[in-house]
Amino acid sequence: MASYFCPCPRGMEAALAEEIGEIAAQSTTLKVHNQVPGGVHCSGTMQDAWLLNLHSRIASRVLMRMAQRSYTTENDIYDLVLEQTWEDWFGPDHTIRVDVTAVKSPLRSLEFTTLKIKDAICDRFRDQYDKRPSVNTREPDMRIVGFLDARNFIVYLDTSGEALFKRGWREETGDAPLRENLAAGLLRVSGWKPGVPLFDPMCGSGTILVEAAQMLQGIPSGARRSFAFEKFADHDRQAWAAMKAAVKPNVLPQEPTIFGSDISGDMVEMTRHNLKIAGILFDVPLKQIEAQHVSAPTTEPGILLTNPPYGERIGVRGDSTVPQDDMAAGFYAAFSTTLKQRFAGWTAYLFTADLGLPKMLRLKESRKTPFFNGALECRLFRFDMVAGFNRREEAKPKQD
């Protein structure tokens, strides 16, 4: 049994632990352990690592722990890495990349520590084979990850390869697209389940819609890509092929439940293209329309989930002479009215780095959950659009 660490966007740890627990229902050996800031520890067999890579929509990677030890200098780290049987996993003809992260480490240079780890791996192969792996920082066969805290060093072998948010379907994006694993985490935190109406009125390149549609159709997040573990020594190709073949898609819905729109016709076309590339075989109705003019797409209340654009995208059809702050304020005031008048009974979730969003909407959030989009601190604001909301707002005495 191996120990694994699954990093994820900060704030998504509880959602990831819940997801891994659901994936573990397919295995008798996969166990979820503790959550820590930035990820979840778990354990299992190598086939459990396959399962996690294939099915986890929220994890960024699946890292297999090779060794752990206390340290005082870079030489301690070198010695521990040198002891590991890297040749059991890959050969000198594979390319490698080493990444190191640290929290409160006393070591002066992470770059020097990274170099010492690389040297230890290469020296081991040179001693055994008189040949060493080459470094490839762009598209390595194998990624080795080091983590340092104040006293301990852990070295991992990455089973994923490219980050798991790279699903294999995205060919083109809008400006600063939402990462796929963050979108999947937002869907889970919102409480959305396949079959519940979902609407993204500012869909951009469609990341939220594609994630939801793949979940509804039963397409695993890793179904359309390859992984580093496929290059491991003694990888069982037949067992891996059987695991993928065992995935059964869901019955396609008869009526649409996932809807999207955007102010930009180019974005709508991009979303339509991305849905097709992602293998979606059912209808996801899309419209080109400004968000402040949308209506609820179903009579049954559902979940509105969106990552509102900043600045320029709000003003795609706006007046370039109007300051962006004024344009944003006008947009959100109009969008707030739309929510109150046309989305009674819906739950609206807005994910944004603008912590003053509720004030611009003139709505009181029922919940705000902190997350990080990379290094950017964000909030997922929840607004419960109860029936009669707008009438109560109009009945309030006006402030002078």
Mean pLDDT, to the nearest integer, of 175-182? 84
Q: What is the mean pLDDT of the chain?
A: 92
**pLDDT at residue 393 tops 90:** no
- Could you tell me the pLDDT band of residue 174, with boundaries at 50, 70 and 90? low
Is pLDDT of 388 > 90?
A: no
Q: Output helix, strand, coil percentages for the chain, rounded to the nearest 5.
A: 35, 20, 45
pLDDT in tens, 320-379: 555 557 778 889 999 999 999 999 999 999 999 999 999 999 999 999 999 998 888 999
Predicted confidence at residue 315, as pLDDT, reads 43
Distances (CA, A) of 338 to 74, 261, 296, 386: 59, 14, 10, 13
Least confident of 76-80, 82-86, 152-156, 384-388: 384-388
Q: Tell me the percentage of the chain whose pLDDT exceeds 90.
A: 86
Domains of the chain listed by start with CATH number: 2-158 (3.30.2130.30), 180-223+250-385 (3.40.50.150)
For residue 397, the model assigns a pLDDT of: 52
Q: Buried (b) or exposed (e) across 187-213, using 16+ Cβ within 10 A?
A: bbbbebebebbbbbbbbbbbbbbbbbb
Per-residue pLDDT of 208-250, as tens digits, reads: 999 999 999 999 999 999 999 999 999 999 999 999 999 999 9
User: What's this model's pTM, rounded to 2 decimal places?
Assistant: 0.92
